[in-house]
Amino acid sequence: METRNNINPAAEEMIFSYADVFFSCYYNDESGCFHQSRDHALNYVYSGEMMIDDGRKKIHVRKGECVFIRRDHRITTYKKPLDGQQYCGIFMSFTRKFLRENFHRLEANKISEDSLKMKSSVLKLPQTPELESLFSSMVPYFNTTVKPNDDLMQLKLYEGLLALLHIDNRFAPTLFDFTEPWKIDILDFMNQNYMYDFTLEDLANFTGRSLATFKRDFRKISDLTPQKWLIRKRLEVAYELMKQGGKKVQDVYSEVGFKNPSHFSTAFKKQFGIPPTSLQPAG
């Protein structure tokens, strides 16, 4: 399951999607999205290029390269053409159900509780023979409308799981950790992402919570609703950008997350008692 929002929507053709394996191509110059996968995943670049920003570092993934994405981490991805080829990629999602089914089969129950786990939210993988063989065998599906059987895709997922386990011994305790999703600090997340048009469901997913748990946790930290908190935050940032930075209304309102200047001006005057134009530099 993947929560996703487009930044710069592109003409995307989903060529094939079946049994938690997704094949996609983008035909415009660039596509950007921020999303959170609730499950561990592999993302392979067949052509073009992808850049992933996890908030701490940026990882460039080019043709023939693959990354592992840990579950419950928010990332921003940018996919674009390279060397005259549009972006095409394969995304494999390892659900909790799939991992549980293979837990005893792989004797993963022998993992000790103090085994080291992966710390990075995104990890570029070495180009091993196992991964090369896996994705090479899946390339033909870019050129056909015939969907493979479910059991064949399950074998591909299992092959991907084995490839990861053979790369690094930290993958076993990471993949077979069935505890509750990691909860990230709500205010930290909202302070960093106040400008995006999130629904309550998005905020809950991105902070590793159910909707009910998010609402309960938010009431502990603010007397405002999440929507009102976001509006106030956007207005405060806009005030500083105009007061201290000398920016104009037309430069600020969309930067902080408002969709039109009229709504921004009305909310600003209600919050601060003055129109935003009063803070603009003269001339």
What is the tens place of the pLDDT at every residue in 198-250? Answer: 899 989 888 888 899 999 999 988 889 999 999 999 999 999 888 877 888 98
Residue 180 has pLDDT above 50, yes or no: yes
Contacts of 53 (CB under 8 A, 6+ apart): 59, 75, 76, 77, 78
d(CA 280, CA 283): 9
pLDDT number for residue 60: 94
Decide which of 206 and 98 is more confident.
98
Strand partners, 211: none
Question: What region does 155 belong to: left with phi over 0, alpha with psi -120 to 50, or beta?
Answer: alpha
Find, among 233, 131, 255, 141, the residue nearest to 188 by Cα. Answer: 233
Q: At 197, is the secondary structure helix, strand, or coil?
A: coil
Query: pLDDT > 70: what percent of the chain?
Result: 84
Average pLDDT in the chain: 84
CB proximity list for 110: less than 8 A, separation 6 or greater:
none
Position with higher pLDDT, 106 vs 171: 171
d(CA 36, CA 203): 11
The C-alpha angle 151, 63, 56, rounded to 5 degrees, equals 95
Name which of 235, 103, 88, 87 is nearest 172 in CA terms: 103
Asked if pLDDT for residue 112 goes beyond 80, the answer is no
